[in-house]
Amino acid sequence: MNSLYGLTEQGQSIWLDYISRSFLASGAFKRLIAEDGVSGVTSNPTIFEKAIDGSSDYDDALRVLVAETPAIDAATLYDCLAIEDVQTAADLLRPTYDLSGGGDGFVSLEPPPQSTRDTAATVKEARRLWKAVNRPNLMVKVVATPEGVRAVEALIAEGININITLMFSLDHYEAVANAYIRGLHQCHEPSRVTSVASFFVSRVDTKIDRALEAIGAADALALRGTIAIANARMVYRRFSQIFYGAPFAALRERGCRVQRPLWASTGVKSPQYRDVLYVEELIGQDTVTTIPPATLDAFRSHGRVSRATVAKDVDEASAALSKLAQLGVDLKAVGRELQADGVAAFASGYNTVLAGLERKRQAAMALRSRTAS
């Protein structure tokens, strides 16, 4: 049996952490939906940078846009190309969305990163993208900065589906969950809104492992490769307490959906660890796992699903995090650093793709000039 279907049997959705025009056009994504149970897509500027700047897949569309609007700038080009890809993916996932009653089958799209530290700009850009994409199974991505969390509340209140991203600590998670709940209380039709809370995994181990190796003691080295999973399991425990406890009870009675934790950055960075470690150890009901293509292939090949794993060994997870603190490693501070690094990485990817689009725009303009003459 395909191991990926074992995840869905445990109540976990599989979303692909990848998008590109040729991938969508070739039928490859449609096959993943049909054969592997993939039920969503996440994107970010770095993914689009690799897809657009790293291939010729978009050149024909770019030339058409330049011909139609010669004064078009790189940012608008990016917007047009990304929105078209997201619309295509959303249409391919529309049957999943409909069959799930609006609970799954989403495509995530992120506003330009310059709005990350500005609540009003984030709200404005999210509204614009929601209208431009014009698909009910869009999720607008909002970074879980303090400014982004305030935007989440406002956007949920307006009935816009939101994927809150770049969370690395329990503090990040609780702020986001509470914003979702406050937004639902203000929403005219709260039962129609869907949201996920994207909590990052492998980046935590990468940074924490370095700190543990710098300490060098045996008890420090023994924690390597354990903290990201422990961190995520504590988040899942808090999710259960909030969304199946008193804080969400009134909204649950009104038919509102829980805000599912989404495990992001599940590709293993260290060759010392099993290549499907983070997928195998964070399986559970009411969760989403976002998987890059290489990890998806690896899990299909040799992933193991014997039971829900995200809720197991919670006492051990708590003990590992306590030991980390005793060793002098501040996980909250690491989370803040990782979030800042993530914001910077998305901004870098965005700037890189804009620079590449500007080069291609100029080349298209030069070709038009030569053809016209």
Q: And the tokens for 114?
A: 């310059």
Least confident of 49-58, 232-241, 254-263, 348-357: 49-58
d(CA 359, CA 373) in angstroms, rounded, equals 21
Task: For the chain, report the end-to-end CA distance as a whole number of angstroms.
Answer: 61
Q: Is the pLDDT of residue 186 over 80?
A: yes
pLDDT at 1: 63
The set of residues, in sequence order, having a beta carbon less than 8 Å from that of 328 and lying 6+ positions away, is 215
Q: Is the pLDDT of residue 215 over 90?
A: yes
Which residue ranges make up each domain of the chain?
Answer: 3-201+232-306+343-372
pLDDT at 373: 60
Q: Is the pLDDT of residue 316 over 90?
A: yes
Neighbours of 156 (CB within 10 A): 27
Q: Quote the mean pLDDT of the chain.
A: 95
Q: Is the pLDDT of residue 287 over 70?
A: yes
Active site residue ranges: 141
**Planar angle of CA 294, 298, 300, nearest 5 degrees:** 115
Question: What CATH superfamily classification does 3-201+232-306+343-372 receive?
Answer: Aldolase class I (3.20.20.70)
Count the alpha carbons within 13 Å of 59 in the hemisphere toward its beta carbon: 11
Q: What is the DSSP letter of 312?
A: S
Question: Facing residues of 14 across strands?
Answer: 38, 289
- For 315, the enclosing helix (H) or strand (E) is helix 314-326
**What's the predicted TM-score (pTM) here?**
0.95
pLDDT at 196: 98
Q: What is the pLDDT of residues 35-75, one digit of tens each?
A: 999 999 999 888 988 888 878 899 999 999 999 999 999 99
Whether the Cβ atoms of residue 331 and residue 325 lie closer than 8 Å to each other: yes
